[in-house]
Amino acid sequence: MKSEQRRLAAQKAFDRLRRAGLPTEEDPRFLVWIEQWIAGEIEMQEVRERYLAFLREQASELKRRALARGAKLPSDPGPQPIDEIDNFLSDFTKG
């Protein structure tokens, strides 16, 4: 896929989220990874792996802060957003 096609695919994926009223990731690291994918420097699988690692790191930090404040965490954390993330990232390769 050429970079122009990748940029268009990325724009369409972000547009679908906005139309659905869903938030988009604005972390600069994620946006850099998307630009690297558009440039053909990395594959979408690498974007996915980096982003999931970022989300795990973020969740761990939030949990650590909550525990430091003495908060009790639920025993069942509920559904994980990984499927939603995979769907969003797969939209990039669909165009």
The answer as to whether 45 is a domain residue is yes
Whether 94 has a pLDDT exceeding 80, the answer reads no
What's the predicted TM-score (pTM) here?
0.73
Q: Residue 71: helix, strand or coil by DSSP?
A: coil
Residue 13 lies in a domain: yes
Cβ atoms of 39 and 87 closer than 8 Å: no
The answer to whether residue 90 is domain-embedded is yes
Q: What is the pLDDT of residue 69?
A: 79
Residue 75 lies in a domain: no
Domain that holds residue 9: 3-69+82-94
Element (H, E) at 35: helix 28-38
For residue 76, pLDDT beyond 70: no
Residue 63: predicted pLDDT: 81
Q: Is the pLDDT of residue 81 over 70?
A: no
Sign (positive or negative) of CA dihedral 62, 10, 38, 48? positive
Instruction: Count how many domains the chain has.
Output: 1
Distance CA 53, CA 48 (A): 9
- Average pLDDT over the chain reads 85
pLDDT at 30: 96
